[in-house]
Every structure is written in C-alpha cells, then in structure tokens.
Amino acid sequence: MTVSDKKATRKLLKIDLDSLADRDVYEKSASISKALIAHDVFQAAKSIMIYMAMPKEVDTAMLMLAAFEAGKRVTVPKCDWASRTMTPTVIETLNCKVSHSDFGLVEVVSDKVIDISEIDLLIVPGLGFDNKGQRIGRGAGYYDRFMADTSFCAIKCAVGFALQVVEDVPVDDHDMALDMLVTESKIYRF
C-alpha cells in the first residue's frame, strides 16, 4: 500500500460526503444514533468517549444526550497537537465551553480528564470503512495511536453513512481495526 492509495481514497470519500445535503446528514445521523442507542453495547457502557462532529460527519449530539440521560460518563477527545495524542476529557452537558482548532475541530475547554483505561465504548469517526472492520480517517493518526495504547480496552465502534462503506480500505500495519460499525442501514460486527 502506498501513501497515494490512501490519499486518493480520502479524496474520493470526501467528494461523496460533500454530496450529502445537510438534511440527509441530519436524518441519517438520527437513524444511526437511534440504532446505536438501542444496541446492548451502548446500553452496557458506563463510560463513553464520543467525538464532536465536524460538518458532513455523523452528528453525535443525540448519542451524547442519550448517554447523559442514562447517567453515563461522557468524554470527548482533546488533542495535543505537539505530541499528536488525544486525552479523554469529561463533559456533562452539550452547553459546555468550546474552542475551535486551526484544523477545524471543535474541542471542549476543560481540564477534567480520565484515564484511557476507564473508557468502555469509543465512538470513532472516519472518512471510510470496509466490511472487514478497517477504517480510513483524515490522516493524522490520532485515533489509531489512541486505540493502540496498551491501557485501551474499550469497544471500538465507528459511526458512518452507508455511502462511506467501500469494498476495501487501504491500511498500514499501524492502523487499528474496529469492533463494530453502525450506519443508517446496517450494524456490522467484526
């Protein structure tokens, strides 16, 4: 596999995602969220790390609200751009103070963190997925490094739109496979 394979795949997937109307993103996100919330993996989790969605990603607000309502601890990633690492940062409401990074990410302004070993369920974003549990992200490797940590033991669940599922995602040795993927039309278990 070459870097250009991943670059070309990312480019094609971004074109597909950009074609989604905002209403489609909203409706499909709601369908994905409802399916995951009803799933026993979500129900059993006591501590969930959920990404804060960027435009054209599955909106995770409904997942966060359901987790808050169920009394689960919710964390979101806080990135350290220098070390290229993420830290699980606790949030207790969607109305928390946020900042916008130079890379377009929304991050919570908080110092309340937990140890990576305390996470039961990790909700993972991605540009594309295949039916073997592989994912391709935006290329910075934050989630792969996070999931490769020896303390990490959570279920790795991606959420994505059906149009993001492709036959094969190009992978490297350091790319971490998923345990499950939830789209608006199917739940995959790997």
How large is the average pLDDT for residues 9-25? 95
Domain count of the fold of the chain: 1
Domain hosting 101: range is 3-189
Work out the burial of residue 128: count CB atoms within 10 Å of its CB; fewer than 13 is exposed, 13-18 middle, 19 or more buried. Answer: buried
Phi-psi region of 139 (alpha: psi -120 to 50; beta: other; left: phi over 0): left
pTM (2 d.p.): 0.91
User: What would the pLDDT profile of 151-189 be if each residue is shown by its tens digit?
Assistant: 999 999 999 999 999 999 999 989 999 999 999 999 999
Higher pLDDT pick, 124 / 2? 124
Q: Residue 1 pLDDT > 50, yes or no?
A: no
Which CATH number goes with the domain that contains 41?
Answer: 3.40.50.10420
Q: In this predicted model, which residue has the larger pLDDT, 79 or 159?
A: 159
Q: List CB contacts of 72: < 8 A, sequence separation 6 or more.
A: 45, 46, 47, 48
